[in-house]
Structure 1
Amino acid sequence: MSSSEHVFPGEHVPAKHHNLRLGPGLLQQASHIDSSESNVVASKAGVLQHSANRSKWWVDSNSRRYVPAPQESVVGVVTQRLGEGYRVDIGEAHQASLDALAFEGATKRNKPNLKVGSLVYARVSLAHKDMEPELECFDAQSRKSEGFGELKGGFVVRCSLKMCRNLLDSKHFLLPLLGGKFPLESAIGMNGRVWISAKEPRQIIAIARCIEAADPDGGGLDADGVRALLETLEV
C-alpha cells in the first residue's frame, strides 16, 4: 500500500516498524489469532500517510474535530487551576491536564504561575480514548522547552486541521511568504489553532486573514492569491 492510498474506518493498515508511532486516524488492536501480535486499523476515512522511514503513520483528512494523538503539538487555553496543575481546553471532547512541573526547569518551589485564560503551546504526552489527555511543555528527551510553554500576547487563529498540517510542512508557501514581508512569530497546533504575533496589530490581522484565505476550508488561495490579498491589506 502506498502512502497516498485512501483508507476507510476498520480497514487494516500495513504499519510495521520497531519504533512505530501512530498519528491521527489510526488505532492499534490486539490480534484475535495471536495475542502477542497487534494490528493497525484506520479509525477514520482519509489518505494514508507515513514518514520517510515509515516509523510514523497517520490518516490525512480535512476536519475541524480534533482527536489527540501522542507527541502532537497543540495550542490550549487554561480553564482551571487544580492543585499542582491545570486543566486545558485543546478543542477536544475532554479537557486535558497539564502538570505544573511539566515545564523546563520547573520544581515544587519554582514553577510557572498560569492564570485562567492563559495560552500554552504544549505537546500531548498521553492520549487514550478512555482517559483525559495529558500535556507537557518541554521536549520529553532533552527536557528543554524547545519552544513550548506559555504564549504571551499575540492572537489565535482557528482553522481546519488540514491547514495546520500544511503550515507545519516546511515546503508550504504561506509562512515564508509572510515572513519575507515583516517579522512574525507563530506556534502551530495540530488541534486547529495557530498562535501568531507581530510588531503591529495590522500585521497580525493580515496574517490571520491570509491563513483563513489559504485554508482548504476557506478560499484555498495559492501563493499568487495571497500576494494579491496582501496588496489590498497594505502591509
Structure 2
Amino acid sequence: MKAGKLRFSKPNKYWVESSQKRYVPHAGDSVLGIVVDSKADIGTLLYVWVVKVNPSMNPELSCTDASRKAAEFGQLKGGYMFESSTGLSRMLLSSPTCPVLDALGKKLSFETAVGLNGRIWVNASSPSTVIVVANAIMNSESLSGVQQRIMVEKLIQNLKLST
C-alpha cells in the first residue's frame, strides 16, 4: 500500500503521487549523481539523465541528452547539494513553475539543478544566498503556494537585515 495524493490526467489516467526517500530509476529521468568509482575524480557531482534501466544492473547514465547535446548536463561545480524526498523534487520540476522557485527567482540570482532522485544542487554568488535558497526549498514541501511565497518574503527580509 502507498500513501500519497491521487492524481488524474485526461482521458482516464489515475495514479498515486507519493513522497518517498527511495528513488527507483526510470529511463529519461534527470538525476544528480556522485562519482564513487571511475577514472573521473571520486566525489564529483554530476547532473545526468538515465538512459537505460535494467533490474539486474546499475542504470546507464549520460551527461548528454537524447540529441547528444550537453547543454544542461555535466559536472556541477561549487554550490551546495542536499537530499530531499522524491515528492519535493517532482514538485520543484512541476509545470507551471513551483511557487517557491518562482518567488526566489524574482528576488535572488541563483542556479539550481533538481534530480528526480531527491538530490538538489544550489549555487549563487554569495554563501548567504545559497543558504536562503536551500532553506526555502527544504521548508517548502508541506506548504501551500501562498505559504511558500510568504516564507520567501520573510527569508528575503531577514537576508537584507543581516547584510
The answer, yes or no, to whether TM exceeds 0.5 is yes
Partner of 2:60: 134
Between structures 1 and 2, the one with greater strand share: 1
Distance 1:48 1:170 in 2: 17
Aligned counterpart in structure 1 of residue 132 of structure 2, from 206, 212, 216 = 206
Between the two proteins, the alignment pairs up a number of residues equal to 158
Partner of 1:232: 158
Distance 1:183 1:206 in 2: 11
Q: CA RMSD in A?
A: 2.5
Partner of 2:19: 62
Partner of 1:155: 80
Please give the per-residue CA displacement for 1:177-203, whole angstroms capped at 9, x wherever unaligned. Answer: 111112111111001111111010110
Distance 1:53 1:75 in 2: 33
1:118 corresponds to 2:44 = yes
Partner of 2:68: 143
* Identity between Structure 1 and Structure 2 (%): 39
Between structures 1 and 2, the one with greater helix share: 2
Distance 2:154 2:84 in 1: 21
Q: Max radius of gyration: which structure?
A: 1
Within a 5 Å distance, the mapping from 1:14-93 to structure 2 comes to 46-47=4-5, 49=7, 59-81=16-38
Aligned counterpart in structure 1 of residue 106 of structure 2, from 180, 195, 202 = 180
* Structure number with higher relative contact order (C-alpha < 8 Å, ≥ 6 residues apart): 2
Q: CA deviation at 1:146?
A: 3.0
Distance 2:11 2:34 in 1: 34
The normalised TM-score by structure 1 is 0.60
Distance 1:146 1:70 in 2: 19
- Maintained 8 Å contact 1:121/1:150: yes
Distance 1:59 1:193 in 2: 21
Partner SS state of residue 210, structure 1: helix
Flag the 1:118–1:58 CA change in 2: closer, same or farther, 3 A. Answer: farther
Distance 1:191 1:127 in 2: 14
Flag the 1:51–1:128 CA change in 2: closer, same or farther, 3 A. Answer: farther
Instruction: List structure 1 segments (4+ residues) > 3 angstroms apart after TM superposition.
Output: 44-54, 56-59
Query: Where does structure 2 lack aligned partners over 5 or more consecutive residues?
Result: none
